[in-house]
Structure 1
Amino acid sequence: MSPASPSKTSARTLGVLALVAVVAYSADQFTKFLVTTNLTVGESVPVLGNALVLYFVKNSGAAFSLGAGYTWIFSILAAVVVVVIVWFARRIRSLAWAIVFGLLLGGVLGNLTDRLFREPSFGLGHVVDFISTPWMLPAIYNVADICIVVSMALFILLTLFGVNLDGTRTTRASEAAAAPAAADPASVEDAEAGPESHTPKPDAP
């Protein structure tokens, strides 16, 4: 069986990235719709006792409500991240990396939608947070935040395991094999020159 062409691989990874982003974004917006239509701001509903509580708040800042007075900056940064991911997506050939960037894209778009279209105004909207797990995090978050955190965790794992964007894997053995050649440019030149470079030349008369 012949290997898939780069164009087919690229189309497949782009499809996976887009699908993951759509699912993540849809889940985030749908859960926020349910919360905003069924709860009032400040209302809490225990789901699993104190382990999982639905607590509806509006966050104008970043994680842990930091930077509450700079909502417009977070809106610009999120828009930049979206543009970078879309531009960078064409370089991805690994399905694992496609999932990482799909989760990141869907999560960032989810919170960016809140900042752009929710009250009080365009670009200054407050993000809807509603998931509270006091035993794990002293913060209230949403599905978009979960997607972003999971994408970051996968990013670290793939980096540690040496998985590249093109699907290849960099191991310590391959790095060690490449190190001597990189450290000795003369050996590289000899290899490029071929066996003729080692043929002794006759002495001049």
Structure 2
Amino acid sequence: MYLIDQVTKVLAVALLEPGRVVPVLEPVLQLRLVRNPGAAFSFATGATWVFTVIAVVVVVAVLRVARRLGSRGWAVALGLVLAGAAGNLTDRLLRAPGFARGHVVDFLELPNWPVFNVADSAICTAAVLVVVLALRGTDVDGRREARAPAQDAGGAEGAGDAARRPRA
């Protein structure tokens, strides 16, 4: 995913004029080259270095957690987070206006949504997958959380079990 992000950004910079809209699948998808110094929705555009630090922390955290992975779902989710964070971090480190202050290349645009890139898509997909894994009770190591016994309307635990047991 990291490689796809970087290749698509290189192509976007080479082939698109800044701000010019190129329809792809109207009205759903269009291309528009934007250089984003901030976060999503151009939030905190004056704090580019903060996002650089955050991306470094995310990359290090994912690499540390990866040693405990025992779940295929978590491996995919953390791989997507790692690829997305590393993709945008590469922009922040290597693109103008300078080291650790670089602007992220965004070029994909959906209706009523800010312009984004493949790295952003990877991060958003990972977020959805993390929610699903958490709701299913799947831990990073692959174990599932034990669920509390079900209660009936009267609050008694295991009422269904008592009904199935033979009476003495």
Q: Same fold judged by TM-score > 0.5?
A: yes
Aligned to 2:40: 63
Q: Which amino acid aligns with 1:170?
A: E
| Poorly superposed stretches of 4+, deviation over 6 Å | none
**Cα offsets for 1:134-164 (capped at 9, x unmatched):** 1xx4211000000000000000000001111
Which one of 76, 84, 87 corresponds to residue 107 of structure 1? 84
Equivalent in the alignment of 1:138: 113
SS in 2 for 1:129: strand
1:158 maps onto 2:133 in alignment: yes
What are the superposed Cα offsets for residues 73-116 of structure 1, whole Å, 9 maximum, x if unpaired?
00011001111111111111111110010000000000000000
Q: CA RMSD in A?
A: 1.3
Indicate the residue corresponding to 2:143 in structure 1. 168
CA shift for structure 1 position 69: 0.2
Residue 66 of structure 2 aligns with an amino acid whose one-letter code is A
Aligned to 1:93: 70
Hey, which of these two has a bigger chunk of helix by percent?
1
TM-score normalized with structure 2 length = 0.86
Gaps of 5+ in 2: 151-168
Percentage of identical aligned residues? 47
Q: Aligned to 2:141, what secondary structure does the other structure show?
A: coil
Trace 1:1-205 onto structure 2 (pairs within 5 A).
Answer: 24-134=1-111, 137-172=112-147, 175-176=148-149
Kindly state the Cα deviation for residue 171 of structure 1 after the two structures are TM-superposed: 4.5
- Computing the radius of gyration from Cα coordinates, the structure with the larger value is 1
> How far apart in 2 are the matches of 1:128 and 1:83?
23
Take 2:55 and 2:21, find their aligned partners in 1: how far apart are those partners? 29
Question: What secondary structure is seen at the aligned counterpart in 1 of 2:149?
Answer: helix
The CA distance in 2 between the partners of 1:54 and 1:39, in whole Å, is 8
- Aligned partner of 1:65: which letter? S
Aligned residue pairs: how many?
150
What's the TM-score once normalised by structure 1's chain length? 0.71
Q: What CA distance in whole angstroms lies between the structure 2 residues aligned with 1:26 and 1:34?
A: 12
| Residue aligned with 2:33, SS | strand
Secondary structure of 1:29's aligned partner: helix
User: What residue identity is the alignment partner of 1:152?
Assistant: A
Q: Could you list the runs of 5+ residues in structure 1 that have no partner in the other structure? A: 1-23, 178-205
- Aligned mates of 2:73, 2:31 — CA distance in 1: 31
Read off the aligned partner of 1:49 and give its amino acid letter.
Answer: E
Amino acid at match of 2:51: F
Query: What letter corresponds to residue 79 of structure 1 in structure 2?
Result: V
